Amino acid sequence: MAAEDPPPTPPPAQVKALAGCWSGKGTVMGKPVAITLEAGPAAGGAMLLVEAGSHAEADPADVYAAHLLFGGRAVRDGEPASIVGFWADSFGGDGASMGRGASTADGFEVAYPYGDAAFVNRWTVAQDKVAWSIVMRGVSGKEQDFARYALVRTACK
């Protein structure tokens, strides 16, 4: 970064609140799962990286992994903090998506486009608890539940 370059816009406080380790339970398309998250600064603190891992409760060999990268974007005064997100997971390059979102009063939301739909991720962080839901939003704007998780802060290994 050159001396005349402005500093990067950091991730909003609502995103930074995810820093640390989390574990919990949830459902994905109705299937019960166990999930862990490990989140921390990346790219010199300009971004927050969340590494997620889960497995089906009924079959621990049924595993999934995702790497979520969040960063802040410059906004005008009075606007909610803007967020850019990148989703990469165990489905490989075909499952990767660049998303955009914003802070909310108690968390943040990022929508990732996939074809004609978007997967909208809603995060709420309250001290030692995280609620994370994912809905599929179609072209009409109608939303359908995809996944829901409830996590608690844990010690990092």
Predicted TM-score (pTM) of the model is: 0.91
Has residue 3 been placed in a domain? no
Residue 65: which residues within 8 A CB-CB, separation 6 or more? 51, 52, 53, 54, 89, 90
Whether residue 66 contacts residue 91, with contact meaning beta carbons closer than 8 Å, is answered with no
Has residue 52 been placed in a domain? yes
Has residue 6 been placed in a domain? no
Q: Can you give the residue range of the structural domain that contains 49?
A: 13-154
SS3 content of the chain, % helix, strand, coil (to 5): 5, 65, 30
Has residue 106 been placed in a domain? yes
Has residue 140 been placed in a domain? yes
pLDDT, one tens digit per residue, over 72-115 is: 988 777 776 799 999 999 999 998 999 999 999 999 999 999 99
Total structural domains within the chain: 1
Has residue 2 been placed in a domain? no
Label the pairing between strands 20-28 and 31-42: antiparallel
CATH classification at residue 75: 2.40.128.20
pLDDT, one tens digit per residue, over 9-65 is: 889 999 999 999 999 999 999 999 999 999 999 999 999 999 999 999 999 999 999
